[in-house]
Amino acid sequence: MGSEIVPIRQTLLSLPSFPDAVPERTLESACTLAQLLNAGLTVQLSQLDSDRARWPVMVGAFGLDFPQLMQELVVKSEANAAAAARMLPGIAADYGVKLDLRRLLATPYPSQAPLVDLARLHDLVMLPVPESDAFDRPCVQAVLFGSGRPVVLLPSQHKRLSRLERVIVAWDFSREAARALSDALPLLTLSHEVRIVTVFGEKHLETTATTADVEHFLTRHQIKYSLNRIAFEGGDIGRFLMDYAEGVDADLLVMGAYGHSRLREFVLGGATRAMLRDPRLPILLSH
């Protein structure tokens, strides 16, 4: 018998309604993952607050009618949130997922504390990556480094999460990679093919562990896996891993989120920044 894997029982999807509408495919991806895990789904759906007292103060707006602009954004956000709230119960029901829908009033530059606090009481967090360049990367950083929970990025304009046929795990023997591997175990048990990928030639891998140790760990958890060493061909390591995952038609890429503390804030490592710039498939990041 393999060692017991702690199941994922409750997932969290943070769903902003501004500046873009919520794509239906994002809701379907979140419900697919919850269904595969036999987990519940909490959705925190935020919309812009219409209370002008909570709007930011703009100095030197260069003649723009800022209150009018904000009012237009509020109306658009309300419409997007209402559309998402209408779609969600039906999609969740179609996937057999128990839904806990929560509405939240927010400002254009909201505090991430409510989301981080809620994430700490869930097993896994999903964050949509919209088509526009307005993706709230500070939100990702706050959840990654503040919640202690793994984060799955769901791209809205690339491959949606519809299955877990093939999963790629980036492995470099580091603490972050070990955390990601452990957090992803409930997902790896559902996959028909798990590729543990170690890139050599990009940096020195410092470890006293052996390949046999990796194999023993995966075997004890009854993971169907293959070990793959690939040579780094130069360029951006994050993009290199993304290209590899896309090339083998992976459904999910698992990797550690790297960062270092600077003045009490975490600064993302290069590979992690690359993943946030343009995630072309669902990615599980863990710190």
Extents of the domains making up the chain: 10-155, 166-286
Interior CA angle at 210 toward 208 and 211, to 5°? 155
Return the CATH number of the domain spanning residue range 10-155: 3.40.50.620
List the alpha helices (DSSP H) in 53-132: 66-94, 113-119
User: What is the amino acid identity at position 10?
Assistant: Q
DSSP state of 221: T
Separation CA 125–CA 116 (nearest Å):
10
- Same topology, domains 10-155 and 166-286? Answer is yes
Q: Which CATH class is domain 166-286?
A: alpha beta
147, 119 contact by CB (below 8 A): yes
pLDDT score for 58? 62
pLDDT score for 139? 83
Structure tokens of 286? 């863990």
**171-226 confidence digits (pLDDT tens):** 999 999 999 999 999 999 999 999 999 998 877 777 899 999 999 999 999 999 99
Residue with tokens 């723009």: 64
pLDDT score for 110? 79
Percent of the chain clearing pLDDT 70 (strictly above) = 87
Residue with tokens 């795990």: 169
In terms of Cβ atoms closer than 10 Å to its own Cβ (0-12, 13-18, 19+), residue 62 is exposed
User: What pTM did the predictor assign?
Assistant: 0.89
> In sequence order, what are the residues at sequence separation of 6 or more whose Cβ sits closer than 8 angstroms to the Cβ of residue 75?
none
* CA-based R_g, the chain, Å: 20
